[in-house]
């Protein structure tokens, strides 16, 4: 257990070496990975900062590589021989196969994050997935999305220049940014523009003419059915181009070389990396320092991250515990801190409902992140999904009107024409035996979820959720930490579940709740954990409250 | 009925106290109340002007919605799908509404339904997603432009105003039109599910956790944002669930989830929550095979639910200030395919409905004999309809939202 007092270290001046303690180690594990259990934090402290950073860069073992078994597209001749209905059916089967493959891979990826064999690589893969983003909606080929992800994990901690070179000929990217339509006679600027605006330089560091010329350099690169990239010489424009002052017969590699030589490029990449890991825009002097380092180290991403993770400013008050965790980070982080092993697809579906559907970014800029994650709807739902992972919230609980509303709803059913809803596409009316507020209203709500196209999403969540039971013993964990009193129990739970210190008002709320609930069990303070299984149930409900707090959204 | 928005809000706020109980809550509720009362200026116009975006997803067959039955080309292109002339709801000797659109026909006759013919955009795209993106962003570049058009409208029309529930989507998939990080929409599938789930006592504690704003000076910015959002979320969740639970309507809505979503919109519109844009989706329009029965059923559902909704709204002041915009990402091919269905097409009619709407036919029906690769050519840019809403209804200069100027149709 981390002593809360350790969190109160004085802020140090930039440049001073930091004190490598539990607070610093936990911060590094939160940002370079997806959070950690107290034992891992203690170990990191023992190992020492420099050695532990090397551990993170090296990882703890190989992943079990994903076996890619893509659905077979029916041969053209075969398709041509079919009647229209059979053809449509074959196409439908193929598309379903695509979706299933991506669902399977999403689960594989989340499992890697949950297992923590190489937390930093997963974190960087997630970064590149948003930086060099592509969407399955438009690529429409799951195998290409899987291969793109494999490209990002291969180079996650490698060299940016090599990664960039491969991205401009990545089949999913070629399809996503329409390079299929980029031909000598009719150039398409989409890839060229995003290459400059989002991948290397940022707006204001190139002209429209540069985009046009760069598009010509990229002509001819295509993705065959989104699966394999190839270069069509006849569609490539071999003429002279002028990009950012460089004149020559540029091809894709030549263009990448020009972009990498621009002073704006290391600044752009360094700025994005710093903002992602620190949760705030870097100050100018720091940005300049890191940009120069990135260039001088020949785009070595591991060297960049090593420098960052040893930088005292990375551990400053302005950085630690101030970043809003994205849905994947929040959900995976909560599972890792709790030691939960839910079905990975459950996490994937929940993250999607919270606004981060992997392989389906909102647009070419990827996910905006930060404050944009926080909406009234997503904040309420974060608590609900955390409760689901803890086994204290079932979808049914979300759909059941609370008692206060239930009385108004039942009035509604008495004098309204809504009763007919029950004969609609609703499921058979459930009799849940005296459970308050369930019944027609919840059944109607379920029917609406299904009709809203959430059959696959929430329906899937429901099925996964029904079978899922968390392997969790918070009581044992508190006992091991020597916590028996209410105050000690809360301190233990908060220090394990939260990346930031609990604020006084939140502590007051939790204290009051625990006190009231313990008293209603008729147990004295200090004796709660002896009263099982009630105590464990109560601790899980408290964990649900903790993970729903504003503090739990930060890391 | 909730004809007294002011009174109703007070009730909702006082109700909030009884739900969560405890003195700790008073400061937050009072805080919420101040901001809430300060939001829409209740001038001479008591109810604010509002908009409902009704999205028909999948590509609605415009030619089976507004039917050019007077054209031989229609009958010859649709040997199995053409609708029998004797059942059609004829508007003139060329156009008719689908036989299932009886309630909409009545609204057309009474002048509160406008039909915009041949809506589309230049260089049409036949991908569902890309075309929908164009409708959602009002820009041919699609999502590359950033926010959705409603997000931009919010930024122009209600930027300074407090507005947790300014934009509300009832349904599972929030359309990109509402995408905006500065003005994120409130969204839920059903009001009952728009809540933090826990036992009564946990909900009470959770309420207190959100009630602590103002307690800490100099709190870290993100923590402050989260705390404020939590308070807003609790207030919003309660307002919305209460408004939906309490809503009484003399109009019978059909027993159908789509109709239930519209009923929720009516409840929120009449509940005085300060919402300005609502959004609801009806899916299933991608009718490549056996279109007839499926499309007939969709028209029946649309007519029954939208008819009930508009009848309901016409009875209240707030409801009369709501305009409905019905659109789809594209229409369908003129010529039916080999599986008694239709494939992705281009131009299609839009509906604009509401008491405040100047009903009638707008634009020109696309010619069935002058096709572009088998598709109807659009005769009206859909952004001219948006322009009418943005300028004519919300009083915002359209260039600020659309980037350029379209001749607005005189719809409102």
Residue A257: CB partners within 8 Å, gap ≥ 6? none
What gap in Å lies between CA A330 and CA A324, rounded to an integer? 9
Q: Are B350 and B385 in contact (CB under 8 A)?
A: yes
What gap in Å lies between CA B288 and CA B267, rounded to an integer? 36
Contact between chains at A418 and B184 (C-beta distance less than 8 A): no
Residues 244-303, chain B: which have Cβ within 8 Å of A? 245-249, 252-258, 260-261, 263, 281, 283, 288-289
Instruction: Identify the closest residue of chain A to B130 by CA–CA distance.
Output: A138
What gap in Å lies between CA B316 and CA B324, rounded to an integer? 15
Q: A335 — contact with chain B (CB < 8 Å)?
A: no
CA distances from A494 to A36, A504, A552, B225 (A): 13, 12, 9, 21
What gap in Å lies between CA A332 and CA A544, rounded to an integer? 15
Burial of B319 (C-beta count, 10 Å sphere; 0-12/13-18/19+):
buried
Facing residue for A362 by CB, picked from B15, B143, B254: B143
What gap in Å lies between CA A39 and CA A498, rounded to an integer? 15
Residue A481: CB partners within 8 Å, gap ≥ 6? A1, A488, A492
Choose, out of B198, B297, B342, the residue to mutate when testing the contact with A (most A CBs < 10 Å). Answer: B198
Local mean pLDDT, 10-residue blocks, chain B (412 residues):
36 34 32 36 68 96 98 97 96 97 98 98 91 96 91 90 86 89 87 89 89 63 90 92 93 93 97 95 90 96 98 97 98 92 94 98 96 94 98 96 96 96
DSSP 3-state of A54:
helix
Q: Which of A489, A468, A482 is nearest to A340 (CA)?
A: A468
B71-123 pLDDT tens trace = 999 999 999 999 999 999 999 999 999 999 999 999 999 999 999 999 999 99
Contact between chains at B223 and A554 (C-beta distance less than 8 A): yes
Residues of B with Cβ-Cβ distance to A543 under 8 angstroms: none
Phi, psi of A401 (to 5 degrees): -65, 140
pLDDT tens for chain A, 555 residues long, are: 444 444 444 444 555 678 999 999 999 999 999 999 999 999 999 999 999 999 999 999 877 889 999 998 888 888 889 888 888 889 889 988 999 999 999 999 999 999 989 999 999 999 999 999 999 988 989 999 999 999 999 999 999 999 999 999 999 999 999 898 899 998 999 899 999 999 999 989 999 999 999 999 999 999 877 578 899 999 999 999 999 999 999 999 999 999 999 999 999 999 999 999 999 999 999 999 999 999 999 999 999 999 999 999 999 999 999 999 999 999 999 999 999 999 998 899 889 989 999 999 988 899 989 988 998 999 999 999 999 999 999 877 777 666 667 666 554 443 333 333 333 333 333 333 333 445 676 777 777 766 655 545 566 666 777 788 899 999 999 999 999 999 999 999 999 999 989 999 999 999 999 999 999 999 999 999 999 999 999 999 999 999 999 999 999
Q: A316 — contact with chain B (CB < 8 Å)?
A: no
Q: How far is B298 from chain A (nearest CA, A)?
A: 13
Under 8 Å CB pairs connecting chains A and B tally to 217
Pairing of strands B167-170, B96-97: unpaired
Q: A505 — contact with chain B (CB < 8 Å)?
A: yes
DSSP 3-state of A314:
helix
Contact between chains at A408 and B242 (C-beta distance less than 8 A): yes
Q: Which two tokens stand for residue A435?
A: 């459970």
Residues 45-74, chain B: which have Cβ within 8 Å of A? none
Cα A492 from chain centre = 27
pLDDT of residue A1: 44
Q: A380 — contact with chain B (CB < 8 Å)?
A: yes
Contact between chains at B179 and A548 (C-beta distance less than 8 A): no
DSSP 8-state code for residue A195: I
Facing residue for A448 by CB, picked from B18, B230, B257: B257
Contact between chains at B171 and A505 (C-beta distance less than 8 A): no
pLDDT of residue A404: 67
Q: How far is A109 from chain B (nearest CA, A)?
A: 24
Q: Which of A177, A183, A209 is nearest to A195 (CA)?
A: A177
What gap in Å lies between CA A37 and CA A311, rounded to an integer? 24
Facing residue for A379 by CB, picked from B197, B219, B229: B229
Instruction: Identify the closest residue of chain B to A551 by CA–CA distance.
Output: B223
Q: Are B101 and B303 in contact (CB under 8 A)?
A: yes
Facing residue for B257 by CB, picked from A452, A544, A554: A452
DSSP 3-state of B185:
coil
pLDDT of residue B144: 84
Residue B21: how many CB atoms within 10 A of its CB? 12
Contact between chains at B222 and A418 (C-beta distance less than 8 A): no
pLDDT of residue B215: 52
Residues of A with Cβ-Cβ distance to B242 under 8 angstroms: 405, 408
Residues of B with Cβ-Cβ distance to A422 under 8 angstroms: 255
Residues of B with Cβ-Cβ distance to A412 under 8 angstroms: 245-248
Facing residue for A445 by CB, picked from B15, B19, B190: B190
Q: B23 — contact with chain A (CB < 8 Å)?
A: no
Q: Are B345 and B84 in contact (CB under 8 A)?
A: no
Contact between chains at B223 and A401 (C-beta distance less than 8 A): no
Residues 164-223, chain A: which have Cβ within 8 Å of B? none
Residues of A with Cβ-Cβ distance to B127 under 8 angstroms: 138
Per DSSP, what are the bridge partners of residue B188? B170
Residue A34: how many CB atoms within 10 A of its CB? 27
Q: Which two tokens stand for residue B311?
A: 């009848």
Q: A434 — contact with chain B (CB < 8 Å)?
A: no
Q: How far is B385 from chain A (nearest CA, A)?
A: 25
Q: A368 — contact with chain B (CB < 8 Å)?
A: yes
Facing residue for B255 by CB, picked from A409, A420, A442: A420
Instruction: Identify the closest residue of chain A to B280 by CA–CA distance.
Output: A452
What gap in Å lies between CA A425 and CA B290, rounded to an integer? 22
DSSP 3-state of B325:
strand
pLDDT of residue B218: 62
Choose, out of B205, B256, B297, the residue to mutate when testing the contact with A (most A CBs < 10 Å). Answer: B205
Report cis status (omega within 30 of 0) of the bond before A533: yes
Q: What is the ipTM of this complex?
A: 0.88
What gap in Å lies between CA B209 and CA B207, rounded to an integer? 5
């Amino acid at each position: 257990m981390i002593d809360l007092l350790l969190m109160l270290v004085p802020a140090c001046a930039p440049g001073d070496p930091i004190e490598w303690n539990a607070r610093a180690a936990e911060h590094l594990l939160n940002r370079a990975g997806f959070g950690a259990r107290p034992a891992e934090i203690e170990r990191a402290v023992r190992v020492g900062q420099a050695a532990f950073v090397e551990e993170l860069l090296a990882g703890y073992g190989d992943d079990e590589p994903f076996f890619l078994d893509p659905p077979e597209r029916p041969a053209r001749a075969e398709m041509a021989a079919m009647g229209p209905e059979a053809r449509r059916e074959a196409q439908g089967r193929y598309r379903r196969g695509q979706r299933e493959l991506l669902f399977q891979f999403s689960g594989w990826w989340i499992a890697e994050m949950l297992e923590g064999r190489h937390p930093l690589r997963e974190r960087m893969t997630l970064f590149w997935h948003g930086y060099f983003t592509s969407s399955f909606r438009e690529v429409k080929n799951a195998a290409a999305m899987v291969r793109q992800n494999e490209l990002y994990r291969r180079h996650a901690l490698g060299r940016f220049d090599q990664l960039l070179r491969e991205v401009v000929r990545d089949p999913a990217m070629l399809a996503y940014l329409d390079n299929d339509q980029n031909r000598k006679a009719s150039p398409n600027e989409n890839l060229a523009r995003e290459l400059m605006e989002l991948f290397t330089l940022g707006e204001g560091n190139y002209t429209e003419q540069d985009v046009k010329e760069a598009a010509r350099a990229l002509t001819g690169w295509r993705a065959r059915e989104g699966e394999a990239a190839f270069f069509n010489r006849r569609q490539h424009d071999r003429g002279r181009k002028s990009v950012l002052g460089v004149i020559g017969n540029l091809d894709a590699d030549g263009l990448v070389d020009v972009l990498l030589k621009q002073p704006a490029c290391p600044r752009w990449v360094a700025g994005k990396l710093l903002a992602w890991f620190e949760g705030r825009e870097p100050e100018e002097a720091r940005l300049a320092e890191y940009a120069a380092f990135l260039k001088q180290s020949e785009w070595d991403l591991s060297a960049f991250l090593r420098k960052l993770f040893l930088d005292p400013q990375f551990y400053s008050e302005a950085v630690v515990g101030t970043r809003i965790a994205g849905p994947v980070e929040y959900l995976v982080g909560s599972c890792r801190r709790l030691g939960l092993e839910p079905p990975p697809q459950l996490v994937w579906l929940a993250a999607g409902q919270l606004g981060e559907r992997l392989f389906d970014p909102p647009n070419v800029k990827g996910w905006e992140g930060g404050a944009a994650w926080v909406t009234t709807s997503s904040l309420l739902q974060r608590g609900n999904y955390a409760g689901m992972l803890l086994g204290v919230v079932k979808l049914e609980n979300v759909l059941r009107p609370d008692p206060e509303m239930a009385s108004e709803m039942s009035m509604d059913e008495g004098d309204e024409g809504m009763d007919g809803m029950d004969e609609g596409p609703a499921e058979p009316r459930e009799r849940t035996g005296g459970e308050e507020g369930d019944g027609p209203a919840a059944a109607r709500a379920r029917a609406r979820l299904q009709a809203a196209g959430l059959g696959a999403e929430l329906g899937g969540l429901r099925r996964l959720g029904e079978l899922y039971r968390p392997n969790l013993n918070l009581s044992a964990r508190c006992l091991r930490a020597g916590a028996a009193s209410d105050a000690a129990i809360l301190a233990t739970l908060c220090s394990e579940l939260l990346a930031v210190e609990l604020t006084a008002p939140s502590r007051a709320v939790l204290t009051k709740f625990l006190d009231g609930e313990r008293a209603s069990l008729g147990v004295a303070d200090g004796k709660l954990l002896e009263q099982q299984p009630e105590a464990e149930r109560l601790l899980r409900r408290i964990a649900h409250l903790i993970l729903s707090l504003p503090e739990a959204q930060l890391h | 009925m909730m004809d007294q928005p002011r009174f109703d809000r007070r009730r909702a706020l006082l109700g909030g106290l009884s739900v969560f109980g405890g003195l700790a809550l008073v400061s937050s509720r009072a805080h919420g109340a101040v901001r809430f009362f300060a939001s829409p200026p209740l001038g001479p116009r008591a109810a604010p002007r509002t908009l409902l975006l009704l999205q028909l997803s999948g590509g609605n067959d415009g030619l089976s919605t507004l039917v050019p039955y007077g054209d031989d080309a229609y009958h010859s292109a649709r040997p199995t799908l053409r609708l029998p002339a004797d059942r059609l709801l004829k508007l003139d000797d060329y156009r008719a509404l689908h036989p299932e659109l009886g309630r909409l026909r009545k609204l057309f006759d009474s002048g509160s339904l406008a039909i915009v013919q041949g809506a589309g955009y230049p260089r049409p795209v036949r991908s569902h997603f890309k075309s929908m993106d164009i409708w959602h962003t009002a820009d041919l570049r699609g999502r590359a432009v950033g926010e959705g058009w409603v997000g931009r409208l919010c930024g122009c029309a209600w930027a300074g105003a407090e507005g947790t529930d300014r934009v509300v989507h009832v349904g599972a998939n929030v359309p990109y039109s509402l995408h905006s990080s500065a003005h994120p929409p409130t969204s839920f599938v059903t009001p009952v599910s728009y809540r933090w789930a826990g036992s009564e006592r946990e909900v009470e504690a959770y309420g207190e956790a959100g009630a602590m704003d103002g307690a800490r000076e100099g709190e870290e910015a993100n923590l402050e944002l989260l705390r404020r959002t939590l308070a807003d979320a609790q207030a919003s969740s309660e307002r919305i669930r209460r408004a939906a639970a309490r809503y009484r309507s003399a109009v019978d809505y059909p027993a159908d989830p789509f109709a239930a979503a519209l009923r929720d919109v009516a409840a929120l519109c009449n509940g005085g929550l300060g919402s300005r844009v609502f959004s609801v989706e009806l899916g299933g329009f991608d009718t490549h095979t056996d279109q007839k029965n499926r499309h007939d059923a969709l028209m029946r559902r649309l007519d029954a639910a939208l008819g009930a909704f508009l009848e309901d709204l016409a009875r209240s002041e707030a409801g009369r200030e709501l305009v409905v915009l019905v659109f789809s990402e594209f229409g369908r091919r003129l010529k039916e395919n080999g599986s008694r269905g239709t494939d992705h097409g281009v131009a299609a009619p839009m509906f604009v409905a509401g008491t405040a709407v100047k009903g009638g036919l707008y634009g020109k029906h696309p010619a069935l004999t002058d096709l572009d690769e088998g598709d109807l050519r659009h005769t009206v840019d859909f952004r001219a309809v948006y322009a009418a809403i943005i300028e004519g209804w919300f009083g915002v200069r359209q260039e600020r939202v659309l980037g350029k100027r379209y001749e607005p149709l005189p719809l409102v």
